[in-house]
Amino acid sequence: MTASPAAPSASLDPEHLAAGILAGNRATLARAITLVESRKREHRDVARALLTRLMPHTGKAHRVGITGVPGVGKSTTIDTLGSNLTAAGHRVAVLAVDPSSTRTGGSILGDKTRMAQLAVDPRAYIRPSPSAGTLGGVAAKTRETMLLCEAAGFDVILVETVGIGQSETTVAEMVDFFLVLMLPGAGDELQGIKKGVLEIADLIAVNKADGDGAIRARSAASDYRSALHILSPRSPTWSPPVVTISGLANEGLSEMWAQVELHRSKMQATGEWASRRASQQVAWMWDMLQQRLMEALTREPARAARIKALEADVREGRVPASAAVEDIAGLMGL
């Protein structure tokens, strides 16, 4: 008697996973996110099949990126803002991308302890993801995770960046709205802030505008407004406003979120919302292709060793970079 082929494990069955996600099962959602973050080929195949099944159920959430320098109060602000939103009937997913060690790939996944209210809120879901050395400190699978959360019924996705390197630009290119948190004391802050961050901001919020910090926050906000006046906004429809808030005291957050919603209505009215989303999808495709090509380039041990040797030659000045590129391209038959 011939044994029948084993049925796929429920944890690796795209149909079973999709059903659980659409039903709002949080454990299934967590397993699916772990699956899309995996680098194993069999997991990648399942993740692709799963996302294909879920695509018709995605795209309805409001995707908001939030960044700021360390110490600006991102986690506290997100915790309070997210709680306000769930109290208003929203379901909120927070994708918090943690700094990872460039040597070990490890990270301190402490966002659930820093967001005490949301961590126990049944209408919220927090997913800390190590950046693992990806460009800009952004988790390689953040886009896929957003889609999974949308399919699970979360209508607001908050993506917290590490606030260093190029993570701001990377996240701004995958969300609908990009919020930059600043500290009071703009005189010092403006000296060190990258012009690029101001150029991609949809709103600047000066945090910690409570108590003794209120006056300094208002002064900083005035300085930021002046700085924004000399920059060209990235959309003809929207000029980034500057507001003062206190994430800790829950002051100004309702007004800030009203600006986020106003931005959405204006962008949808002009068609820019849909256009930006479409462009992001194409950019996502090319990003994934580049990742796959780099993986393919170094997967074969002998080829990886040759590339390492060429890298050393270029570093030591024995071979020009252009010649090394030609050699590497030849390894791939290009």
The least confident of 17-26, 60-69, 88-97, 155-164 is 155-164
Q: Across the chain, what does the average pLDDT equal? A: 84
Give the pLDDT of residue 264: 97
Give the pLDDT of residue 158: 96
Distance of alpha carbon 80 from alpha carbon 204, whole angstroms: 17
Distance of alpha carbon 147 from alpha carbon 51, whole angstroms: 8
Looking up tokens 């899309």 gives 36
Q: What is the pLDDT of residues 187-222, one digit of tens each?
A: 555 544 556 788 889 999 999 999 888 999 998 899
Confidence of residue 40 (pLDDT cuts 50, 70, 90): confident
**Which segments of 193-249 does DSSP mark as H helices, in order?**
195-200, 213-229
The arithmetic mean of pLDDT across residues 61-70, rounded, is 91
Greatest Cα pair distance in the chain: 83
